[in-house]
Amino acid sequence: MKKIGLIVNPIAGMGGAVGLKGTDGEEILRRARDLGAIPGSPEKARRALRRITSIKDSVEILTCSGMMGEDEARDESFSLNVVCETGKFTTSSDTKNCAKIMLDEGVDLLIFVGGDGTARDICEIVGERITVLGVPAGVKMYSSCFGITPEASGDLALFYLSGERRDTSLAEVLDVDETMFRKGILSTRLYCYLKIPSGGHLVQNAKASSRPESEKAQREAIAEQVIESLEAGHYYIVGPGTTTKEILKRLGFETNVLGVDILHKKKDGKIELIGSDLNEESIQNVIAKEESGAVHLIVTPLGGQGFILGRGNQQLSSRILEMVGKEGIIIVATESKITSIPHNSLLIDSGNPETDRKLSGYYRIITGYHLFSILEAKSWH
């Protein structure tokens, strides 16, 4: 008997239908309701659940009361167990409480229905400890943990639960600055990673290959290409992301995927990890005395929007970026990452418009071993 966790965020997506950008916050939610917005995520939940009715008899759904999952699971005749209660108006803490309970119950798969906000809440609690999958229902869905449609999410869950496809991969969960977002300014930050079932074309922003090995193989190839071109005596600041950290992995170093590390290739050819998960000051201390031209920054676009430098990169300050300069920036990205970025255009938002301008222009992106793509990086202003 497999256990599925189901958390439905009933208010996700309500803002979008009436022209509001998201429903985080009670004020916005009230406005949405006043404008006549009705919950859309319960129906999306049902659409996803319908895809797994064929294994109904061998799964049990653990869920939250009322519209947070109980109603939808009952509608689709699943055997269910309500493990947490919520009030009339659901909030982010309800999501987190439910997620905690499901983590403790050790569910085989946690399905949530919502948007980036819901993803963030869940990630905060479960991290990479259990397999999670998002059913797309929000307005803001820049994270890559969602199926492309509710049906696709259902299909993916079916494959995973019936044992057909047990591979998982890490999906970015992005934190979007709400206030800025409502002003029409998109500012994303990589928040954390969720472990999702691998499903290639069924998963949002993963259009290239259906095998997890393909993604991994591409990252390894990129890492090999980078390692081959490291120069003796130079320093390499390595930004967050699974593609950049693959380089460190290949050299034998395990670091925090969200942090910033520094590699140094000594004159004798040996490559060292100088520091990991560094803050701005530590980075500055390492590179300050070096010649410009001997310091590089390796970054990869994060999230679905193509930011190689975003407001979230507190560690990569203007002074560090100025030191590295445009010529010092090495961008790495898998082909599927590039195809998922709108207009294949990279974005820079260092926090300083002047710096952004200096770093704008065309870059030679490493996409594999001996494989490159030319893309333009623009200041997001």
Partner 1 sequence: MEEAHPYIPNSAPDVKKEMLEAIGVKSIDDLYKQIPEEIRLKGRLNLPEPLTSELELRNHVLSILNKNADPGDYKSFLGGGCWNHYVPAICDEINHRSEFLTAYAGDPYEDNGRFQALFEYESLMGELLDMDVVSVPTFSWGQSAAMSLRMASRITGRREAIVPDVMSRERFLLIKNYCEPSMKIRTVKHDRETGMIDLEDLRNKISGDTAAVYFENPAYLGFIETGGKEISEISHEKGGMVVVGVDPISLGVLSPPGHYGADIVCGELQSLGIHQHFGGGLGGFISSRDDEKIVMEYPLRLFGTTKNSRGEQVFGDVAYERTSFAKREGGKDFVGTMAALWGITAGVYLALMGPKGMNEIGKLIMQRSRYAMKKMGEIPGVTLPFSRSPHFKEFVVNFDRTGKRVKEINRRLLKDKIFGGLDLSEVFPENGQSALFSINETHTYQDIGFLVERLREAVS
Partner 2 sequence: MRNFHEARWDEPVIFKLSRKGERGILVPKIEAEIEREVGDVFSGLPDFMVRKILPVLPEISQMRVLKHYLRLSQENLGADLNVDIGQGTCTMKYSPKVNEMFVSNPRAADIHPYQDVSTIQGTLEIIYRLDLMLREISGMDRFSFQPGSGSQAIFAMASIIRSYFMSKGEERDEIITTIFSHPSDAAAPAVKGFKIVTIYPDKNGIPDIEALKAAVSSRTAGLIVANPEDTGIFNPRIKEFTRIVHEAGGLCAYDQANANGLLGIARARESGFDMCFFNLHKTFSTPHGSGGPACGALGVREELIRFLPVPIVEKGENSYYLNYDLPDTIGKVREFHGVFPAVLRAYSWIMALGAEGLKEVAQVAVLNNNYIMNKVLKIRGAGISFPETRERVEQVRYSWSKLTEETGVTSEDIIRRMADFGFHLWTSHHPYIIPQPFTIEPTESYSKDELDEYVDTLKHIAEEAYRDPELVKNAPYNSVVHKIDRPEDFDDPKKWAITWRAYLKKRGEDHKDTN
- First CA to last CA distance, the chain: 53
CB of 123 to partner 2, least distance (A): 25
Binding partner of residue 372 among partner 2, partner 1, none, CB under 5 to 8 Å per kind? partner 2
Which residue, 86 or 153, has its beta carbon nearer to partner 2?
A: 153
CB of 303 to partner 2, least distance (A): 17
Sign (positive/negative) of CA torsion 15, 68, 62, 127? Answer: positive
The β-bridge partners of 12 are none
Binding partner of residue 218 among partner 1, partner 2, none, CB under 5 to 8 Å per kind? partner 1
Residue 367 binds to partner 2 (criterion: CB under 8 A)? yes
DSSP state of 251: T
**Which token pair is 149?**
């449609």
Residue 326 binds to partner 2 (criterion: CB under 8 A)? no
3-state secondary structure 13-56: CHHHHCCCCCCCCHHHHHHHHHCCCCCCHHHHHHHHHHCCHHHH
Residue 149 binds to partner 2 (criterion: CB under 8 A)? yes
Which residue, 107 or 221, has its beta carbon nearer to partner 1?
A: 221
Which residue, 93 or 339, has its beta carbon nearer to partner 2?
A: 339
222-251 positions binding partner 1, by CB under 8 A: 224
Q: Pick the closest to residue 143 from 175, 99, 110 (CA basis).
A: 175
Number of residues that bind partner 2 (CB under 8 A): 32
Residue 336 binds to partner 2 (criterion: CB under 8 A)? yes
Distance, CA of 243 to chain centre: 13
**CA Rg, the chain, in Å?**
22
CB of 241 to partner 1, least distance (A): 18
Q: Pick the closest to residue 156 from 247, 49, 296 (CA basis).
A: 49
Written as one letter, the residue type at 251 is: L
Residue 371 binds to partner 2 (criterion: CB under 8 A)? yes
Which residue, 30 or 364, has its beta carbon nearer to partner 2?
A: 364
**Sole window of 74-82, 134-142, 155-163, 217-225 interacting with partner 1 (rule: CB under 8 A):** 217-225
Written as one letter, the residue type at 19 is: G
Residue with tokens 């129906």: 43
Residue 65 binds to partner 1 (criterion: CB under 8 A)? no
Q: Interface residues with partner 1 (CB under 8 A)? A: 209-211, 213-214, 217-218, 220-221, 224, 369-371
